[in-house]
């Protein structure tokens, strides 16, 4: 298992403590590209599916749990 597989396993194991940069790397490894950024909202697409993820700010370092669970359900299976 390479780095990409380990990162995905780490995200699945603990969705409460996922950094935005790690989630972005996992999505890019699965073929998603950033298609739009408006403020702290990042839109990712792979041609079929589009996801919007909110980048944490204001002293927060981890992504919203709902966003991480949606990414796991729709993209990282």
HEC string for 13-74: HCCCCCEHHHHHHHHHHCCCEEEEEECCEEEEECCCCEEEEECCCCCCCECCHHHHHHHHHH
Residue 76 has pLDDT above 90, yes or no: no
Q: Which CATH architecture has domain 3-74?
A: 2-Layer Sandwich (3.30)
Does pLDDT of 1 surpass 90?
A: no
Give the tens place of pLDDT for each residue, 18-47: 999 999 999 999 999 999 999 999 999 999
In the chain, what are the domain boundaries? Answer: 3-74
Q: In this structure, how many other beta carbons lie within 10 angstroms of the beta carbon of residue 15?
A: 20
* Chain-centre distance for alpha carbon 4: 13
Q: Mean of the pLDDT values across residues 60-77?
A: 93
Instruction: Note the pTM of the prediction, 2 decimals.
Output: 0.91
């Amino acid at each position: 298992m390479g780095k990409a597989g380990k990162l995905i396993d780490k995200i699945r194991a603990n969705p409460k403590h996922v950094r935005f940069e790690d989630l972005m790397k996992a999505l890019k490894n699965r073929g998603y590209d950033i298609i739009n950024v408006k403020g702290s909202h990042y839109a990712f697409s792979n041609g079929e599916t589009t996801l919007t993820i909110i980048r944490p700010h204001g002293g927060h370092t981890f992504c919203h749990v709902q966003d991480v669970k949606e990414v796991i359900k729709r993209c990282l299976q």
